[in-house]
Amino acid sequence: MSENLRPHIGITMDAGKPDEKCKLMELPVDYVESVIKAGGLPILLPWTKDPAVRAQLLALVDGLLIPGGNDLDPHLYGQEKHPETKLTAKERQDFDFAMLALAEQRQLPTLGICMGCQTMNVQRQGTLHQHLPELDPPADAPNLQHRKPGDRTNAHDVTIRPQTMLAGAMKLDALPTNSRHHQGIAKVGHGLVASAFAPDGLVEAVEDPTLPFWVAVQWHPENLFGSPHERLFQALVEAARKHRDARQR
């Protein structure tokens, strides 16, 4: 019977703007809809400082999704805060790192998106470029704008490294993606490999080839309904299904 049940995909939540001095948790609906369309059952994971509650929350799910958000505290990777860095809520940041650590211990299928990609890289002692407009591209590379303020249609192509988990999921070696981030991966974290690149050479995806499914992308596939980007959520859900079935044997 379990094969007919949707795998549970836990999605961590962001901190919204306080409403009458009351803290809020929030999540853009496209993440939920993408998981449902891919065959998963989204489970929203509220951030908490309690280690026992964190562990119990993770025990409820078969896969984990770390979504986008604002910027990580650069002290986490040994840098001072750039004037353009807009920090995410510490509660959300601490929770995401804690859930990633638990997921890694359990080899839980995990997908990171945008800030989630950066979080997965920093969790492995990687570093970030805090403000991409200040970088000089290689002489033979185009000068891309990875974010145009107010323009959610900004896009560029990415090239996917062959024989990676990402290539297997997308079934393509290149495709256009949306792009609205001002930070990006500098040094790739321990145990991770870069699996996709922008035309200017910026790392656009990382993964851990030693885990069943541990993939992170810098773009926003949840906003690209009706495109090959839906395959990324399908791959997460399928990996979560296999994880669940193996655990129940």
Q: How far apart are CA 112 and CA 115, in angstroms?
A: 8
Any catalytic annotation for residue 146? no
Strands (DSSP E) along 99-153, which ranges? Answer: 110-113, 128-129
Query: Which of the residues 8, 104, 114, 207 is marked catalytic?
Result: 114
Give the contacts of 36 (CB within 8 A, at least 6 positions apart).
42
Any catalytic annotation for residue 220? yes
Amino acid at 149: P
Q: How far apart are CA 142 and CA 159, in angstroms?
A: 14
Quick one: which of 67, 84, 87 has its CA closest to 218? 67
Query: Which of the residues 129, 220, 229, 243 is marked catalytic?
Result: 220
Query: Which of the residues 207, 222, 238, 243 is marked catalytic?
Result: 222
Torsion of CA 19, 23, 29, 34, to 10 degrees: 170
Any catalytic annotation for residue 222? yes
CB 88 within 8 A of CB 71: yes
Identify the three-state secondary structure at position 4. Answer: helix
The 10 Å CB-count burial string (b at 16+, else e) for 157-177 is ebebeeebbbbebbeeeebeb
Residues with catalytic roles: 114, 220, 222
